[in-house]
A and B are shown apart, each in its own frame.
Chain A
Amino acid sequence: MEIEIFPKRLLSASRVEKILNSIISLGMAKNIILHGPKLPKYVVVPSREHLTGIRVETGHEDLKRIRFGDKEVELTVKVGRIIIQPIEGIDLNVFSEKLREICNELLPFGFDIRMGQFTKTRPTISDSIREYIKQ
């Protein structure tokens, strides 16, 4: 069973950093997945000088390294959902209540918290095809 935090706005990198640090400080999360639309670093745009266009940086402010706990990770998405896989044996109701307190403080524009299965539990046909291609 997983817990999903679904804020009513897409989050900035600094807010994601604060939320992650708060979640990790609870000591109940095994894995955290950050989900959202991809932020490309470069884009090819038309150019009068170059027929095939030129590569420019998009300049997204949220494309940066964020630090939480003792880890640092390069954010590549505009975070829209945070999916948390809790450590086995944790009381999910207690965990989600603590998450609700964190979200009440850090997400003033509103949020929803759901419990359920949000990730695949076993490989599917497309995973098998990817493995085959890698070989």
Chain B
Amino acid sequence: MSAYVSQLYPGTSRSSINRRKYMDPKTKYEKLRSISDEDLVRVLGHRKPGEAYKTVHPPLEEMKEPEDPIRRIVEPTSGTKAGDRIRFVQFTDSVYFSPMAPYVRTWAIYRRYRGLDPGVLSGRNPIEGRERDVEKVAKELIETEVFDPARTALRGYTVHGHALRLDENGMMFDAIRRYKFNKAKGVVEYVKDQLGVPLDKPVEVGKPLPEEELKKRTVQFRVDHIKFISDKPLLGWVHRIFELRSRSGFNPEGVKGI
């Protein structure tokens, strides 16, 4: 009997293909920029670079945990083994062709990483977990194709701006002004961390991608780009789910064989 292979997401449009690609655990995200570990820690704002991780309990090896079959099967993450405290990173995605969207990022994190708790709301994506696990996933999510310096942002709070028009430099609005566009270098710099605390020196997160490139990489469906209703297989599946749940709610016997 063959193992179940998840189909991930229906549809044949570019946006659907991108969703499957980003959600698939086998996909290696294309690296587009580099951010040093030190700069990442500064932008996340939970500790100072070089400072030891604060812990909430001793390392698991030192703790006398009761014998449990699940504890034998499940390998703890590195943060859990060390006893790190729970910290978070939060992303916001502009509706103007940012590579990712909140729900798709959440689905991707559930499939690709262990030991993290991704939340999702219409305008933001908090990702909680043990501190060093959060740093590891934040590094991958920032350095690769699922992040655009202008259209995706790291915001701990006051996330307003994802649905506003971009400014003249193509940047998403941020009331706290955590980042700015350095016109001389053509890069986006974070001048505050995700919690709004000013940084000693700016952290560069790279050049924004041109809009044509973003339109190829985005997972978003938009009326002025790839319309949701234009992807017939996807629409067919959504229709099927809605019809089945309505009919089966009325009479479960009535949907047998459909």
Contact = CB atoms under 8 A, between A and B. Distances in A.
Interface of A: 7-12, 15, 37-40, 43, 45-47, 56, 58-61, 78, 80, 109
Interface residues of B, number: 20
For the residues of B in contact with A, the DSSP-based class is loop
A59 B176 CA distance: 8
B86 interface: no
A11 B197 CA distance: 26
A46 B167 contact: no
B167 A9 contact: yes
B166 A59 contact: no
Interface string B132-164: 000000000000000000000000001011001
B27 to A, nearest CB: 33
A58 B165 contact: no
B168 A80 contact: no
B191 interface: yes
A37 B168 contact: no
Nearest to A38: B175
Contact of A9 (B160, B166, B191): B166
Contact of A12 (B158, B168, B191, B192): B168
B83 interface: no
B166 to A, nearest CB: 6
Contacts of B164: 10, 37, 80
Given A8-B165, A10-B166, A12-B167, A46 B173 contact: no
A8 B158 CA distance: 23
B197 A59 contact: no
A10 B164 CA distance: 8
Given A10-B173, A37-B160, A58-B177, A47 B197 contact: yes
Contact of B196 (A9, A10, A45, A109): A45
Nearest to A108: B168
Contact of A39 (B158, B165, B175, B191): B175
A85 B184 CA distance: 39
Contacts of B196: 43, 45-46, 56
22 contacts: A9-B168, A10-B164, A10-B165, A10-B167, A10-B173, A12-B167, A15-B168, A37-B160, A37-B161, A37-B173, A37-B175, A40-B176, A43-B175, A43-B176, A45-B195, A45-B196, A45-B198, A58-B175, A59-B177, A60-B177, A78-B173, A80-B165
